[in-house]
């Protein structure tokens, strides 16, 4: 039986990944600060805040106890965003962004890596970054700093724990349709403007990121580690041809 722990389980990508994994026969455990919106039919849920050391460790201990071993995969989707100029970013906002994104990734990774190393069974850790950590986008200083740290963390952990079979990879999505981004694309004009930023002509859907996360969690990606994969419709890789006015 394939087993997986999903953090940040109330988010759009996490919900899509949970559905895809459940349909593929995986056994799921989910962690979230907000469990009311989660479908109980997909498996047990633990209310926890994994941006704290204790919250992350409790989540991994719960998973190891439930599965009688570390989960075969951890998909860490917990996080938040902030769009604001650095001059208008308050200290409390900055700290909150770092905690939700970088701290949570660090503490979940540490707990999972220790469990995998002790069991020596191998595993797959999937983290999430953002295109804004890879290319400069205005008014994203705090979240870009946090997600840049997540990317560096993924590479470092892939080196540290390859000997015990733990694979660590990171997905860096562009704008996706999720509850977190709903206000940005709520209007036809907003959706059209967002779509125009991407060479493939559309913004992403939660199912796009979920499918990649499921692939990275599974044995299908068994020879893939230490990678930061841009899932962005070509945003960071393609320079569009611009005609002079």
Provide the whole-model pTM.
0.93
pLDDT digits (tens, 9 = 90+) for 32-87: 999 999 999 999 999 999 999 999 999 999 999 999 999 999 999 999 989 999 99
CB 84 within 8 A of CB 133: no
Nearest to 39 by CA among 52, 27, 30, 26: 30
CB 232 within 8 A of CB 212: no
| Beta-ladder partners of 169 | 126
pLDDT digits (tens, 9 = 90+) for 180-226: 665 666 677 767 776 777 788 887 899 999 999 999 999 999 999 99
Residue 198 in any domain: the answer is yes
Residue 76 in any domain: the answer is yes
Residue 15 in any domain: the answer is yes
Residue 243 in any domain: the answer is no
Residue 244 in any domain: the answer is no
Q: Which domain holds residue 40?
A: 3-231
pLDDT digits (tens, 9 = 90+) for 146-182: 999 999 999 999 999 999 999 999 999 988 776 666 5
* Rounded distance between C-alpha atoms, residue 162 and residue 181, angstroms: 35
pLDDT digits (tens, 9 = 90+) for 119-152: 989 999 999 999 999 999 999 999 999 999 999 9
Residue 242 in any domain: the answer is no
Residue 140 in any domain: the answer is yes
The number of distinct structural domains making up the chain is 1
Q: What is the mean pLDDT of the chain?
A: 93
């Amino acid at each position: 039986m394939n087993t997986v722990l999903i953090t940040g389980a109330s988010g759009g990508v996490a919900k899509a990944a949970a559905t895809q994994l459940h349909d593929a026969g995986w056994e799921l455990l989910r962690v979230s600060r907000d469990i009311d919106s989660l479908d109980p039919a997909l498996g047990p849920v633990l209310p926890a805040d994994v941006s704290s050391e204790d919250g992350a460790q409790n989540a991994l201990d719960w998973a190891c106890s439930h599965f009688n071993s570390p989960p075969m995969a951890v998909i860490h989707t917990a996080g938040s965003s902030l769009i604001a100029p650095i001059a208008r970013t308050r200290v409390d906002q900055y700290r909150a962004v770092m905690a939700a994104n970088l701290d949570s990734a660090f503490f979940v990774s540490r707990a999972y890596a220790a469990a995998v190393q002790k069991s020596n069974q191998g595993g797959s850790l999937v983290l999430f970054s953002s295109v804004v950590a890879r290319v400069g986008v205005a008014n994203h200083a705090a979240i870009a700093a946090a997600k840049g740290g997540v990317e560096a963390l993924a590479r470092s952990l892939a080196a540290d724990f390859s000997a015990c079979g733990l694979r660590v990879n990171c997905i860096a999505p562009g704008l996706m349709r999720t509850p977190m981004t709903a206000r940005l694309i709520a209007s036809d004009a907003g959706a059209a403007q967002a779509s125009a930023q991407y060479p493939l002509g559309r913004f992403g859907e939660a199912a796009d990121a979920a499918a990649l996360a499921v692939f990275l969690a599974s044995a299908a990606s068994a020879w893939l580690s230490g990678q930061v994969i841009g899932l962005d419709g070509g945003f960071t890789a393609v320079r569009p041809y611009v005609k002079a006015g």
